[in-house]
Chains A and B, each alone.
Chain A
């Protein structure tokens, strides 16, 4: 009965190994080679451990014959065993070293990157800037990184305030964002999907609420998405959202947030031009619905204490209109 319980709990624990954020559920080139290396090292070490245990058990249990005084024969045996063990150790360690070296070499991928994205880590959200030589085709988004599947992607990592770390376990290893310098990471998603990323360097009070999603999709959907993102913020069609736009421009919102195509051009907070098209708000904290947007605007400091969004005094009507406007910015 006890054994069954232990096995059940192990199975339960292992279920954490799959899903949107797991290094064992590798879906990107770098993550796959890293996972293979880990499996190889664990397999080799387990085999060595079992062999050592078997030899240890055998030497503890074997019957010694006190009459057997043939010292020379047992010394010869010992020499063979020790030399064999030393040779095996050298072989295994050099083998693992070579494998590790090859994996590291392989991490950077091959070929030139097809897409370069600037990533700016901020307390506590991710700014993704898709730069283009034509400024009209550059755009930026927050906490949601869309990439074409099967293509080499290069991210230029910068930090605005403290050290952060870019980590999408299913796609690649982690790399720090250091204030005052630029780190570069290349990766490639092998299969389409939604992969969760997370800041992996403690960066303050809301470090755990600094997540983002990587959406790997086929070339066509990616192009469609990018074309939509390049456009200006949609003009609200409903009266409620229209009133929300007026509130946004009149209140403090516009001083920190940009909505392209309007007077709002603040750069402190996330770009909201297409905020309605994103899956989550506040760096993966809440699902993106009209209700959660309203909750966030009404009291950001209770939902995510310490973040830089202030409580802007609004009436109930203004709040409802503002949430409708945010939702309409698809």
Chain B
């Protein structure tokens, strides 16, 4: 009996250690040199697509992988007024993030560049409003809104009414099937 108790206790301790060990790291303070390096987006000449800075891989892509950064991105999304043009992701004056169509490609670099430098037809530059770490957090969140596949990490849930599928759910097939809603028909079918 005593042996069983000791065994159970040890097992519980082992599980606790494993769970504690696996706790997702949160980085609250990006080192200033790392932040400076994050600013070095290597965009293609047409400002669409490209490669993230090396440091992003060295950091293990936290802005797409950790729930904390996604949650912060979600807060930034409302704090910096994104919903006024993009709604809760369904679009409005600005393009939708839910239709499976990315005007400048679905890569983090493109999304971060869109936020940092702005895009034609009304997307303002947030370079002077947000720090580069915040821009990456927001980009990670925006990418998760229109993700093509389900993810294991998710930001915290909405406190108010959900108007669309949660960010970590499988792609919103309903929206994908509808196809992109042309925002600027004068530019052609896709933009």
Contact = CB atoms under 8 A, between A and B. Distances in A.
A311 B80 contact: no
Contact of B28 (A250, A252, A306): A306
Contacts, number: 41
Contact of B80 (A250, A254, A255, A299): A255
Given A305-B28, A311-B35, A251 B128 contact: yes
Nearest to A314: B32
B128 A252 contact: yes
A306 B75 CA distance: 13
A173 interface: no
Contacts of B72: 308
B174 interface: no
A310 B134 contact: yes
Given A255-B130, A268-B79, A313 B159 contact: no
Contacts of A301: 28-29
Contacts of B160: 180
A318 to B, nearest CB: 14
Interface in A91-148: none
B140 to A, nearest CB: 15
Interface in A235-262: 250-252, 254-256
A302 B29 contact: yes
Interface string B119-140: 0000000001111011000000
A310 B38 CA distance: 15
**Central interface residue in A180, A251, A254, A313, by most chain B CB within 10 Å:** A313
A54 interface: no
Interface string A255-287: 110000000000010000000000000000000
A255 B80 CA distance: 8
Contacts of B75: 308
Interface in A274-330: 299, 301-302, 305-306, 308, 310-313
A248 to B, nearest CB: 12
Nearest to B159: A179
A256 B29 contact: no
B173 interface: no
A209 to B, nearest CB: 13
Given A179-B159, A180-B159, A256-B79, A311 B29 contact: yes
B2 interface: no
Contacts of B29: 299, 301-302, 305, 311
A310 B128 contact: no
A208 to B, nearest CB: 16
A128 to B, nearest CB: 20
A312 B32 CA distance: 9
Nearest to A306: B28
A195 to B, nearest CB: 31
B170 interface: no
A313 B128 CA distance: 11
A305 B30 CA distance: 11
A312 B131 CA distance: 6
Interface string B55-94: 0000000000000000010010001100000000000000
Contacts of A310: 130-131, 133-134
24 contacts: A179-B159, A180-B159, A180-B160, A250-B128, A252-B128, A252-B129, A252-B131, A255-B128, A255-B129, A255-B130, A268-B79, A301-B28, A301-B29, A302-B29, A305-B29, A306-B26, A308-B72, A310-B130, A310-B131, A311-B32, A311-B35, A313-B32, A313-B35, A313-B36
For the complex of A and B, the 6 pairs showing the least CB-CB separation, nearest first, are A301-B29, A255-B129, A310-B131, A305-B28, A268-B79, A301-B28
